[in-house]
Amino acid sequence: MADAVVFDMDGVLVESEHLWEELWTAYAAAHGRSWGPDQTRDVQGMSAPEWAAYLTRFCEAGGSEGGSGGGSAADTERTVVDGMVQALTDGRIELLPGAREMITATAERGPIALASSAPRRVIDAVLVHHAVDHHFKATVSSAEVPRGKPSPDVYLAAASALGVAPERCLAVEDSSNGLRAAAAAGMTVVAIPNPQYPPAEDALAAAAFRSPDHGAVRDFLLSKLDTRGE
């Protein structure tokens, strides 16, 4: 049994992973570089400062091939994050089918938190835009902890913010590095595999439950939340 649920955001609550890839690709192209699936796999799960540093180095490496190096990693991050906020404003970041019901039902049963690789500005904007922010007792960006996923830092910080031991938390993830991070934190891992970016089998192996259907995941979470206090 568990006392709390910690959700990832991109690919679990909202359809947004493809937008991050789109923006990384566009930024690289603007600096004469070709961003591909290998680069996307490298950075998925990284915090914003981590992927911004990676993307900046990637662009700088193209200097001898006719590309022009970008500015600082902070400039890179700002440009990409501005693009994500604009995508939200334009209605391009929608809740996944069943996500609202999953959030609402679990929040009624126990405390829920968010442990996301997205930067704070995107987390807050997405949750407020979709009017689900009030359900979360805590939200943590991996930019606010020492290391991004697959390190467990963001999940451990979320559990600490809730005042719940990690081993008493359920963690809902979609990506390889996210699944690895939740498992490393000692949480019970629940996988919603992203069909566009399927997680590695070794990462999925850590999941106690997996389903592409949010309704099925919601029912599993509710079955595991401890109701002794009710």
CATH code for the domain in which residue 173 is found: 3.40.50.1000
Counting Cβ atoms within 10 Å, is residue 191 exposed (0-12), middle (13-18) or buried (19+)?
A: buried
For CA atoms 13, 141, 28, 78, the dihedral sign is positive
28 and 59 in one domain? yes
DSSP 34-78: ---HHHHHHHTT--HHHHHHHHHHHHHTTGGGT----S-HHHHHH
Q: Report yes or no on 76 lying in a domain.
A: yes
pLDDT digits (tens, 9 = 90+) for 68-82: 455 799 999 999 999
Task: Please state the pTM of the whole predicted model.
Answer: 0.92
Instruction: Indicate if 100 and 197 belong to the same structural domain.
Output: yes
Which of 89, 119, 152 terminates a domain? The answer is: 89
Overall number of domains in the chain: 2
Together in a domain, 83 and 104 = no
57 lies in the same domain as 151: no
Is 74 within a domain? Answer: yes
Instruction: Tell me which of 51, 68, 89 is where a domain ends.
Output: 89
Q: Is residue 39 part of a domain?
A: yes
Same domain, yes or no: 102 and 216:
yes
Per-residue model confidence as pLDDT tens digits over 41-97: 899 889 999 999 999 999 998 654 444 455 799 999 999 999 999 999 999 999 999
The arithmetic mean of pLDDT across residues 211-229, rounded, is 91
pLDDT band at 102 (very low <50, low <70, confident <90, very high): very high
The answer to whether the beta carbons of residues 157 and 140 sit under 8 Å apart is yes
Q: Is 11 left (phi over 0), alpha (psi -120 to 50) or beta?
A: left
Tell me the two tokens of residue 40. 């996307």
Does one domain contain both 104 and 218?
A: yes
Residues 192 and 107 occupy one common structural domain: yes
Residues ≥6 apart with Cβ < 8 Å to 139: 113, 114, 116, 123, 124, 127, 158
Q: Does 117 lie in the same domain as 54? A: no
* pLDDT (tens digit per residue) in 153-176: 999 999 999 999 999 999 999 999
Residues 112 and 139 reside in one and the same domain: yes
Any domain includes 229:
no
Q: Does residue 205 form part of some domain?
A: yes
Asked whether residue 203 falls in the same domain as residue 112, the answer is yes
Owning domain of residue 59: 17-89
Question: Same domain for 59 and 105?
Answer: no
How far apart (Å, rounded) are the C-alpha atoms in residues 164 and 166? Answer: 6
Say if 84 falls within a structural domain.
yes
Q: How far apart are CA 145 and CA 222, in angstroms?
A: 29
User: Same domain for 8 and 117?
Assistant: yes
Single residue among 59, 89, 119 that ends a domain in this structure: 89
Mean pLDDT, all residues of the chain: 94
